[in-house]
Chain A
């Protein structure tokens, strides 16, 4: 299956990509998508404990199973507001 991966802020800068498309095995979780990204971009490894995710524009857990065509977004720690 193919999923779209969205990256923001420092994750975007570390990879040089804001959006990419990757083939994953059927039923792969968001966490598995993250692991494959870390494999491809080792600089992301530091974010393993602090990153969170969203699937199809809704907050999700790393254990969420993905489907073909899903959009998974990885969110570095946030700091909106003032």
Chain B
């Protein structure tokens, strides 16, 4: 069974199988970004996270992000998989794979993709910490927000 390049599912993430969804013909670089559940957040000791998504739209948002990245870095191929459900410390919540002829574009497109996922993808994080719980709410999900998109492009070229 072939795995889609863009996926939201409760199964544990396997970076190698995400990388297997992109064609590496002509490529000289594959950058794999893995986002993990961190033990400390904003001074709180995290016990676990519960991720919730509007899965069909989240998968479409990943495709949209890949199209956007393609406008900037035409030779990069992206794959984005996000896990949902209950995740414990150290588990992978997202894997982004960027394959391209040269490493610069692979790193930049991968950074762009994670910034855009956090800006527009309908995925929510419910943090359970020592002493309570909180929904982490960041940006209003608006893919047409040009300022946010520009910020993601700038971050892609920076080390911030």
Contact = CB atoms under 8 A, between A and B. Distances in A.
Is chain B's binding surface mostly helix, strand, loop or mixed? mixed
Given A59-B57, A82-B35, A82-B36, A8 B140 contact: no
Contact of B58 (A6, A76, A80, A82): A80
Given A6-B54, A8-B52, A8-B54, 7 more contacts: A8-B124, A52-B141, A52-B142, A76-B124, A80-B51, A82-B35, A82-B38
B82 interface: yes
A82 B56 CA distance: 20
B12 interface: no
A63 interface: no
B52 to A, nearest CB: 5
B54 A10 contact: no
Contacts of B52: 8-9, 12
Interface string A45-81: 0000011101001110000000000000101111111
Interface residues of B, number: 36
B114 interface: yes
Contacts of A9: 52, 124, 126, 135, 137
A52 B140 contact: yes
A81 B114 CA distance: 7
Given A9-B126, A52-B142, A80 B82 contact: yes
Interface in B116-147: 117-126, 135-144
Contact of A78 (B38, B121, B126): B121
B144 to A, nearest CB: 8
Interface residues of A, number: 22
Contacts of A50: 137, 140
Contacts of A59: 57, 61, 120, 141-144
Interface in A6-24: 6, 8-10, 12-13
A81 B144 CA distance: 20
Contact of A10 (B36, B38, B93, B137): B137
B94 interface: yes
A77 B139 contact: yes
Nearest to A54: B57
